[in-house]
Amino acid sequence: MGKGLGITGFVISLISLIFILIFPILGLILSIISLVFCIIQLRKEKTGLAIAGLIISIISIIFNVLALIAVIIVWTTVQNTLNSQSEKLNDLAKNIGK
């Protein structure tokens, strides 16, 4: 039987690890794709690369989700800070104009 899906899943899982810090959404998508490939391969024939890809995919999904949550938290914090500073500047401009 072919081992192509296991190899593909393993390689994609490694690539998804790279995207944890660069672009977590893409890393998450790649991790899920890799997980599916590895599961399909394991149902056909158990290979070492499919098992390794499955484990790496699960770890990558966890870290990509955590990185995505961190990005969302940082984004909202920066947005709130900028809105607050903008309001303060507007108030200051109104007081100067009086």
Mean pLDDT of all residues in 69-75: 95
In the chain, the number of structural domains is: 1
∠ CA 52-57-62, rounded to 5°: 135
**Distant-in-sequence, close-in-space partners of 22: CB < 8 Å, separation ≥ 6:** none
Find the domain containing 39 and state its range.
4-97
pTM of the model: 0.81
Reference 15, options 4, 3, 38, 31; nearest CA is: 31
DSSP at 47: -
**For residue 1, is pLDDT > 60?**
no
